[in-house]
Each structure stands twice: as C-alpha cells, then as structure tokens.
C-alpha cells in the first residue's frame, strides 16, 4: 500500500523520520518539499551569496535530519528549520566578516531605472544595519514571521524582538530619508 505523504501534518512527518528507511525518506522528502525554498531564500538573503547560502541550506537539512534521531518534542517545523539556518548563517558571517550584497527578490513595476535604484538603496540600507537588527528585519519583512515565531527562532525575549525591529525600521528610514527628500524636492521643482 502506497502512502500519500502530502496528507500528513509536519509533526507526523517529523515523527516518521524515526521509522524504517523508506518511510523516513518519503517523510523527509515531503518536509523538504514544503520548506526548502523558504530556507534557501532566508540563507540567500542573510548571507548574500549563492555559494555560502547553498552550503548553509544543505547543512540546515542535514542537521534537521540528525535532530530527528534525538528524543525531542517538535511543535513548529518551519521555526525549527529557520533556527538551524539562522545559527549556521551567523557562524558563517562570524567567520567571513564580509559585506553582504542582497539580490533582487521582487520584480518591480514602473520605471525600471528608478526601481533598480530604489532596490539598490534599500539593499544598501539593510546591509548597513547592525547584524542583530538585520537578522530581525529579514525574519519579519522577508520571511513574514510573526513576533512569536521570531522569538522562537532567535531565542530573544519578545521585548527585544519588538525593540530591534523598531530600531531596524527607524534606521532604514534614516538612511533612505535623504534620497526621498531629494526626490520630493525634484518633484516639487518640476511642477
């Protein structure tokens, strides 16, 4: 009898990772299909280059698979995967200490030159954030995690998460404000 693993929830699939080899492989494949693109996108945004992101992405799933051998209660697979990925990304960044270059993650509409310029400005603003603020901002704005999920992934208290997100947004506004003020002045002078 062939099983349809898509019908199982994350927790059931995680528990199947301890089963016989064929069941464990199918359960892992289903979890991988559900979360691999999200984890890779996070690694890519955090690290800024494909090679490091690919390495961390693969290591994340290896560590995840190893974790299934331990006796642990699993309640939130995506948060657990992001936590593994985050820790690995932080370790890579500590080793490298090199600047991050964010790639385009959305297709802009409108004036392509202006949109490219704006995307590059936003990427630069994010890159200029201190690591702790950048991490929170990426988890919230790019990965769409709730505050509670960010607490779970980072291990920081809720107040710290909220404060860092607020500071990250404020800092980005400060960095970008000269650009927008110049644009507003040009518009005003043009009319």
The pLDDT score that the predictor gives to residue 144 is 81
The predicted pLDDT at position 191 comes to 47
Going by C-beta distance under 8 Å and a sequence separation of 6 or more, which residues neighbour residue 184?
none
Same fold, 1-99 and 109-191: no
Query: Tell me: domain 1-99, CATH 1.10.4160.10, correct?
Result: no
Query: In the chain, what are the domain boundaries?
Result: 1-99, 109-191
What pLDDT is recorded for position 58? 92
Backbone angles phi, psi at 149, to 5 degrees: -65, -35
Q: What pLDDT is attached to residue 36?
A: 92
CA distance 36 to 42: 10
- pLDDT score, position 2: 55
**pTM tops 0.95:** no
Q: Give me the pLDDT at residue 108, please.
A: 42
Q: Kindly report the CATH class assigned to 109-191.
A: mainly alpha
Mean pLDDT by 10 residues, the chain (191 residues): 77 89 90 92 85 91 88 84 90 65 42 64 82 86 84 87 89 82 52 47
State the Cα–Cα distance between residues 101 and 49, nearest whole angstrom.
7
C-alpha to C-alpha distance for 18 and 13, rounded to whole angstroms: 9
SS3 label, residue 49: coil
């Amino acid at each position: 009898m062939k099983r349809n693993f898509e019908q199982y929830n994350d927790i059931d699939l995680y528990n199947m990772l301890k089963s016989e080899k064929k069941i464990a492989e199918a359960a892992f494949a289903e979890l991988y299909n559900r979360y691999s693109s999200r984890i890779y996108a996070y690694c890519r945004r955090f690290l800024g280059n494909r090679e490091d992101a690919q390495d961390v992405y693969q290591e994340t799933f290896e560590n995840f698979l190893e974790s299934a051998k331990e006796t642990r209660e699993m309640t939130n697979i995506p948060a657990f995967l992001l936590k593994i990925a985050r820790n690995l990304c932080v370790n890579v960044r500590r080793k490298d200490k090199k600047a991050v270059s964010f790639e385009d993650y959305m297709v802009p509409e409108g004036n392509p030159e202006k949109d490219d310029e704006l995307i590059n400005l936003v990427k630069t603003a994010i890159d200029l954030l201190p690591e702790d603020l950048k991490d929170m901002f990426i988890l919230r704005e790019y990965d769409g995690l709730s505050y509670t999920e960010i607490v779970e992934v980072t291990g920081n208290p809720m107040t710290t998460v909220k404060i860092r997100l607020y500071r990250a947004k404020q800092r980005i506004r400060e960095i970008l404000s000269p650009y927008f003020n110049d644009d507003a002045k040009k518009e005003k002078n043009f009319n």
